[in-house]
A and B are shown apart, each in its own frame.
Chain A
């Protein structure tokens, strides 16, 4: 079963060892870049631990045939509870944990966990977007982590352990996930049926920074085209603010009418710019270039521009700042103008 999880053998080994010794912890914090398989890993572990076959927990091998395995695959396992940040919220709010004002302590993940297991010998929770707790939800979760229900395992999924409250971090076993190898990403794109042309798969993989979800996003031809266009704009000596801002705004609007999908698209654009400036910084410091050929060409061409690492760093900061603004409720068109203006400043 573990063939479906690739590129994280050390993580699997670590869990295997703990399971064999009967020493699985109550809380795991799985951290690493987006789209490298943290969720799949948690689901796979949950499947093995909840499987009804004898010794499945010790061997971490799910039988794939019992009722537990079947229910887990269909997303209906009564002892496996998951939450993900709501699309219309910026943060993981307390209602997901213990119910809203009108249902406080009567619904939500932690209330579900207050019941004894239904089918398996344990119950498992997976909390997605664990980077995005607000203080209230973090403190509520903390109470459960301090005194977890017997036999419960909680998987927190996040991108960086630095984004966790120290109190949560200190009660978790931190498991780090690295990037996936480009070859693996390319293979996955083909085996998942997203791309059929191996050359194209390789190209997308090299632009993915080891993230399968990113590679899948880039497989969108429109996005790929815009990325190329953005690089051209950024390379040009003296950014044409008006033209770039207008193009970006138009592209963001094209994502759909919902604010949420527009916000996601703008985040993608900003990430492209971050890739670009990070590449520039690498080459300015003499490191080997990274990424796909398109990005590398853009970086090579921009060498003609006489800027130093300080300027590049400033622009990178702008982009990172931009990301935090996007996650707040700010008018996106205004934001884009602010951002392009900041990048264009000499």
Chain B
């Protein structure tokens, strides 16, 4: 293998794939990245066996194609510490020479045959959606995952694809976030039969690789894994086993609920203000819906009290619902502050449903109120 590349471009690509490299692993081979050079492509790969990434690097002059396994920490340091614009690399079976203008490194390399394979996107059946929607699917749900639970399925985002429609769902058992949107399926697309739960770590990586893309993203779900192809990256992620709550059942179907549209910006401000006096021990805020006004009150024994009032379009009987302000803020934070959202509730005991008109819905369970 013999190439010349632009150092900074190459380093950026390396840093993207290096996010997958495990910080500690019993399998030493995983501390490496694989660089595969063809006549007209260069692909960087890394995996921790749970998530794998292939990333296309552009602007590379190829003199001789080949494959090389590089120790990610040292290789990254060489690229980072250099000030050269261009870097040359020349590898054989045992070592690689990395040359800048005034520097030269000779690193030992590992046998490429030992590197675990990373899937290629060769699907004929998949769904396609905009990178923008996919970002929202991740961004608006990932905060509701629970990565510390021994119910490992809750550490992932459920992806549910039906015909021309995709839903992403995440929950930690106390609140649930769901984002939906349209997809285009290839002819004859058959949705995967199993439950598709994608680890949140893989979702973070996907989000990063499509962060400034306006292109389409392709998704193929299989029984054991998911493949996501964007402009430069293909990400492979093994799915999580386990039971995911039946999310459709979590959504309340009230016949006698109160529904109201609220402006996001003033509501969010009120929640943040009310939360100033809360503590770890006394986290809840009382949302009291009264005639014409919503009053938020917070209090904790060793700090004090807060009382915030905002006008609302409501003239029914007074109802108080105690909610965790962090959970409410998580929802508000991912929204466009200048818009409105809909809040649906029944009483102080049952789930509160918050939703927007662009396919986003969020269910929060109230906290028990002290009498």
Contacts and interface: CB of A to CB of B under 8 A. Distances in A.
A324 interface: no
B148 A76 contact: no
Contacts of B150: 98, 105, 143
Interface in B117-158: 117, 147-150, 152-153, 155
Interface string A68-89: 0011001110100010000000
B238 interface: yes
B359 interface: no
Contact of B116 (A78, A112, A114, A117): A78
B224 A106 contact: no
A129 interface: no
A149 interface: yes
B167 interface: no
Interface stretch (B211-219, B239-247, B291-299): B239-247
Nearest to B24: A107
B93 interface: no
Q: Classify the interface of chain B: helix, strand, loop or mixed.
A: loop
Given A116-B223, A116-B224, A105 B147 contact: yes
Nearest to A149: B241
A228 interface: no
A320 interface: no
B303 interface: no
B113 A111 contact: no
B27 A76 contact: yes
A116 B238 contact: yes
A105 B149 contact: yes
Contacts of A78: 49, 116
A312 B175 CA distance: 67
Interface in A102-128: 104-106, 111-112, 114-118
A104 B148 contact: yes
A67 interface: yes
B347 interface: no
Contacts of A114: 152-153, 240-242
Given A71-B116, A76-B116, A116 B148 contact: no
Nearest to B148: A105
Contact of A115 (B114, B116, B147, B241): B241
A115 B148 contact: no
B312 to A, nearest CB: 41
A150 interface: yes
Contacts of B26: 82
A118 B238 contact: yes
Contacts of B27: 75-76
A111 B152 contact: yes
A128 to B, nearest CB: 12
A321 B27 CA distance: 38
B162 interface: no
A70 B49 CA distance: 16
B241 A150 contact: yes
Contacts of A117: 224, 238
Interface residues of B, number: 25
B85 interface: no
A149 B239 CA distance: 13
Interface in B308-341: none
A70 B113 CA distance: 9
A104 B149 CA distance: 8
Given A76-B29, A105-B152, A118 B113 contact: no
Contact of B239 (A74, A75, A105, A116): A116
A258 to B, nearest CB: 21
A340 B153 CA distance: 56
B207 interface: no
B63 interface: no
Contacts of B147: 105-106
A125 B47 CA distance: 20
B236 to A, nearest CB: 9
Contacts of A118: 49-50, 116, 224-225, 238
Nearest to B241: A149
Nearest to B242: A114
Nearest to A114: B152
Contacts of B199: 115
B114 A74 contact: yes
Which of B114, B152, B242 has the most CB atoms of chain A within a 10 A radius of its CB? B152
The 8 closest A-B pairs by CB, nearest first: A114-B152, A116-B224, A78-B49, A115-B238, A149-B241, A116-B239, A76-B27, A74-B114
Interface of A: 67, 70-71, 74-76, 78, 82, 98, 104-106, 111-112, 114-118, 143, 149-150
29 contacts: A70-B113, A71-B116, A74-B29, A74-B114, A75-B27, A76-B114, A76-B116, A78-B116, A82-B26, A98-B150, A104-B148, A105-B150, A105-B152, A105-B155, A106-B155, A111-B152, A114-B153, A115-B50, A115-B238, A115-B241, A116-B225, A116-B239, A116-B240, A116-B241, A117-B224, A117-B238, A118-B50, A118-B224, A150-B241
Interface of B: 26-27, 29, 49-50, 113-114, 116-117, 147-150, 152-153, 155, 199, 223-225, 238-242
Given A70-B113, A114-B240, 11 more contacts: A74-B114, A76-B27, A76-B29, A104-B148, A106-B148, A112-B50, A115-B238, A116-B223, A116-B239, A118-B238, A150-B241
